[in-house]
């Protein structure tokens, strides 16, 4: 299964300033497979060592003697000398030997020609139990999330639909038949999600039941990991937060709702660990008064999202729904599934070298509440993003934001075909009526990965912009 992140690996390999690379991401999102495929495509001799399987290597890494370490690894791999001429060293499950993380800096200093990649899950759990510093400035990072919707289309050999998405321009008519096919695939993806094993199982069996079995296995693996790497006192709280977030995705978070009898401070620690391990994500409130968005965020006000849409639905009990109910579009559009779908894609668009970061906007007060689902930075532009699970819905909060922040363009994701339209709307503000004028880029949910390209191109082509109908406004 090809991943977009492979291009990042290619750029890293070709860079004159290459440093050892740490691939970070939740367990079973495809980190090891990505490295193996990359080595194969680049025709590199892969020297792979799983540090969980070789616990005695800890003592070797403690020496920080890279020559001695390489000789030891050569015997384990059995493929001859490990060199930078045509080889790639891959240290998998590096969290099992935390000292190896520190040693990466010495590979950078002693063997700059040798490409070194490491990968690990729950690194933060491990580091919380050990007192050492990361080799800052001596390593690079790649953050890997679940397989995306478009990557899934490629795996399912839906090349025609994928080419349509990759090349579509707003001034073109979007084929209705393609739209219907993509909506159906999107509905299925909501249930299957982006975990590679779940996708492959669905491709092989065309069975959602088989997919749910995979989900159950992954969920239990995560819980087993908690027991392995977390302290006993943290374990129960980790389970509480892990089970709660899928049911609260997209809602303003309050620790008291997880367990009113537990201490918020302790629950916060569990939440932070799961966030750092990329099992859950935060969308933090931002004032959005200027760039960067992170400069005005309030980390105490946030909405949580889960790692993956499919896992989220499984934890919420979707596997107990009858097959007939699963086929109903109305079922899958309930709750915050659409918002979760956008969140897990938006978090990784164009920025896989930094930890996933999401923001939203919230106004609470006597004048009335308003909330914009996401605030995105596209180029140097602040863009409010609304998510609708159906074909219509109010844009009052979006209009409030646009009026208050004086932005010119808003984005809406829904179930309609793409459009770019001008909106002129009378907005009640402080007892008075004010006219709000803005352009609205409306895209179907399945086009989230094309947002940066399409948004950029709206400023380069002349697009017909009819006035939005009252029903859609």
pLDDT in tens, 52-90: 999 999 999 999 999 999 999 999 999 999 998 899 999
Per-residue pLDDT, 463: 39
For tokens 């309050």, the residue is 254
Per-residue pLDDT, 330: 52
Structure tokens at 137: 């400035």
Question: Mean of the pLDDT values across residues 197-211?
Answer: 96
Answer for the pair 103, 64: CB distance below 8 angstroms, yes or no.
Answer: yes
Per-residue pLDDT, 132: 61
Q: How far is CA 425 from the centre of its chain?
A: 34
Cα 253 from Cα 199, distance rounded (Å): 30
364 pLDDT above the threshold of 50: yes
pTM over 0.75: yes
- When pLDDT is cut at 50, 70 and 90, the band that residue 470 belongs to is very low
* 5-143: CATH architecture: 3-Layer(aba) Sandwich (3.40)
Per-residue pLDDT, 332: 52
Lowest mean pLDDT among 94-108, 150-164, 317-331, 419-433: 317-331
Per-residue pLDDT, 290: 86
Question: With helix as H, strand as E and coil as C, how does the chain read?
Answer: CCCCHHHHHHHHHHCCCCCCEEEECCCCCCHHHHHHHHHHHCCCEEEEEECCCCCCHHHHHHCCCHHHHHHHHHHHHCCCCCCCCCEEEEEECHHHCHHHHHHHHHHHHHCCCCCEEEEECCHHHHHCCCCCCCCCCCCEEEECCCCCHHHHHHHCCCHHHHHHHHHCCCCCCCCHHHHHHHHHHHHHHHHHCCCHHHHHHHHHHCCHHHHHHHHHHHHHHHHHHHHHHCCHHHHHHHHHHHHHHHHHCCCCCCHHHHCCCCCHHHHHHHHHHHHHCCCEEEEEEECCCCCCHHHHEEEEEEEEEECCHHHHHHHCCHHHCCHHHHCCHHHHCCCCHHHHHHHHHHCCCCCCCCCCCEEEEEECCCCCCEEECEEEEECCEEEEEEECCCCCCCCHHHHHHHHHHCCCEEEEEECCCCEEEEEEEEEEECCEEEEEEEEEEEEEHHHHHHHHHHHHHCCCCCCCCCECCCCCC
Lowest mean pLDDT among 24-28, 154-158, 317-321: 317-321
Burial of 437 (0-12, 13-18, 19+ CB in 10 A): exposed
Domain with CATH 3.40.50.300 in the chain: 5-143
Cα 204 from Cα 24, distance rounded (Å): 28
323 pLDDT above the threshold of 60: no
Lowest mean pLDDT among 158-167, 195-204, 310-319, 425-434: 425-434
Compute the CA torsion angle 76, 196, 234, 262 (nearest 10 deg): 180
Through-space distance between the first and last CA atoms of the chain, rounded to whole angstroms: 40
373 pLDDT above the threshold of 50: yes
Most confident residue range from 36-45, 316-325, 328-337: 36-45
Q: What is the pLDDT of residues 416-458, one digit of tens each?
A: 999 999 988 777 776 677 888 899 999 999 999 999 999 998 8
Per-residue pLDDT, 129: 63
């Amino acid at each position: 299964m090809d991943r977009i992140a492979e291009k990042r690996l290619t750029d890293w390999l070709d860079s004159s300033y290459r440093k050892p690379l740490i691939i970070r991401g939740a367990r079973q999102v495809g980190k090891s497979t990505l490295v193996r495929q990359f080595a194969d495509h680049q025709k590199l001799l892969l020297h792979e060592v799983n540090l969980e399987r070789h616990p005695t290597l800890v003592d070797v890494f403690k020496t920080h003697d890279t020559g001695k370490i390489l000789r030891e690894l050569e015997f384990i791999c059995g493929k001859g000398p490990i060199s930078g001429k045509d080889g790639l060293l891959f240290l998998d499950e590096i969290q099992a030997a935390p000292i190896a993380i520190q040693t990466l800096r010495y590979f950078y200093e002693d063997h700059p020609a040798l490409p070194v990649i490491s990968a690990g899950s729950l690194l933060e759990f491990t580091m919380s139990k050990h007192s050492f510093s990361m080799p800052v400035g001596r390593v690079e990072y790649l953050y890997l999330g679940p397989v995306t919707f478009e990557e899934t289309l490629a795996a399912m050999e839906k090349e025609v639909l994928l080419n349509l998405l990759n090349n579509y321009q707003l001034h073109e008519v979007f084929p209705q038949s393609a739209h219907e096919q993509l909506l159906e695939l999107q509905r299925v993806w909501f249930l299957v999600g982006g975990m590679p094993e779940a996708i492959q199982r669905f491709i092989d069996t065309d069975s959602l039941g088989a997919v749910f079995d995979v989900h159950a296995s992954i969920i239990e693996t995560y819980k087993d990991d908690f027991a392995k790497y977390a302290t006993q006192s943290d374990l129960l709280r980790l389970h509480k937060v892990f089970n709660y977030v899928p049911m609260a995705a997209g809602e303003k978070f309050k620790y008291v709702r997880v367990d009113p009898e537990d201490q918020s401070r302790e629950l916060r620690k569990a939440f932070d660990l799961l966030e750092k391990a990329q099992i859950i994500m935060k969308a933090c409130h931002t004032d959005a008064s200027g760039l960067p968005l992170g400069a005005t965020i309030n980390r105490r006000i946030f909405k949580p999202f889960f790692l993956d849409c499919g896992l989220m639905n499984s934890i919420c009990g979707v596997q107990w729904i009858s097959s007939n109910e699963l086929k109903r579009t109305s079922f899958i559009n309930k709750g915050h599934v659409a918002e979760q779908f956008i969140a897990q894609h938006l978090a990784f668009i164009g920025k896989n070298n930094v930890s996933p970061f999401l923001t939203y906007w919230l106004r609470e007060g006597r004048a009335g509440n308003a909330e914009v689902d996401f605030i995105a930075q596209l180029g140097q532009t602040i863009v409010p993003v609304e998510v609708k699970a159906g074909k219509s819905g109010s844009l009052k909060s979006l209009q409030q934001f646009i009026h208050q922040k004086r932005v010119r363009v808003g984005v809406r994701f829904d179930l309609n075909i793409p459009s770019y339209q001008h909106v002129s709307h009378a907005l009640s503000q402080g007892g008075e009526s004010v006219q709000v004028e803005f352009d609205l880029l409306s895209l179907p949910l399945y086009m989230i990965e094309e947002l940066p390209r399409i948004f950029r191109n709206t400023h380069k082509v002349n697009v017909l912009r009819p006035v939005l109908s009252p029903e859609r406004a």
